[in-house]
């Protein structure tokens, strides 16, 4: 279920696109560094939860400045942005906002699958294609990283099945069934999901989320 109404989507895409454009091309912050700051400062969570003051109440440049300031950095504008200039960084932020909204995935999880540098590199030839074309490519990366969110999170954490089973006190056979999708993790007890998510440094929602 999406966190905000579709009428706000174009504003959200414009805002995040402009934010990445400003961060990289006006303030000289590397794209993935800005992405990390966007998450660490709480802006990503507010954005994906549909906080109107972030997705449509400010400009992308304002958002970039707030993210950079929250990180404790002093920013100096290297050069003025031209409003009609749609850079690869703008396009990457634009597509990122669309993917997060359409797939209901958190920014943090998306970042584990594709970096901003990798997304920006897709500008050619995808910038003239429908956003869904890029989304399908990212979907493929998710599938390659694991059949279920639990399997993906475990691999990203660098844990073996036995290692996670021991750390979480969840039986390895039970864990295997959840990873294969033979049992639905969303139907597991809260305590089971809590222990697994704590070991994997993610939220219960991220752990139970799936891509069709």
Q: Are 106 and 152 in contact (CB under 8 A)?
A: no
Token digits of residue 97: 């906002």
pLDDT (tens digit, 9 = 90+) per residue, 74-129? 876 655 554 446 899 999 999 999 999 999 899 999 999 999 999 999 999 899 99
DSSP labels for 173-190? HHHHHHHHTSS-GGGS-H
pLDDT for 3: 77
All residues at 6 or more sequence positions from 12 whose CB lies less than 8 Å from its CB, including other chains: 4, 47, 55, 56, 97, 101
Structure tokens at 36: 């990390």
pTM, rounded to two decimals: 0.85
Segment 11-63, tens digit of pLDDT: 999 999 999 999 999 999 999 999 999 999 999 999 999 999 999 889 999 99
């Amino acid at each position: 279920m999406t966190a905000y109404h579709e009428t706000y989507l174009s504003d959200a895409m414009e805002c995040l696109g402009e934010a990445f454009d400003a961060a990289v091309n006006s303030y000289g912050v590397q794209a993935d560094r800005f992405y990390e700051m966007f998450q660490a400062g709480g802006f990503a969570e507010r954005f994906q939860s549909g906080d109107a003051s972030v997705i449509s109440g400010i400009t992308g440049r304002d958002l970039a400045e707030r993210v950079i300031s929250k990180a404790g950095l002093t920013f100096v504008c290297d050069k003025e942005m031209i409003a009609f200039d749609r850079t690869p960084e703008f396009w990457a932020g634009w597509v990122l906002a669309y993917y997060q909204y359409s797939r209901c995935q958190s920014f943090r999880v998306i970042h584990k699958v594709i970096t901003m540098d990798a997304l920006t590199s897709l500008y050619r030839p995808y910038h003239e294609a429908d956003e869904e074309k890029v989304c399908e490519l990212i979907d493929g990366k998710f599938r390659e990283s694991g059949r279920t969110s639990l399997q993906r999170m475990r691999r990203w954490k660098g844990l073996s099945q036995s290692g996670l089973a021991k750390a979480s006190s969840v039986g390895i056979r039970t864990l295997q069934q959840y990873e294969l999708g033979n049992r639905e993790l969303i139907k597991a007890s809260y305590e089971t999901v809590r222990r697994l998510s704590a070991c994997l440094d993610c939220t219960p929602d991220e752990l139970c989320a799936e891509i069709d």
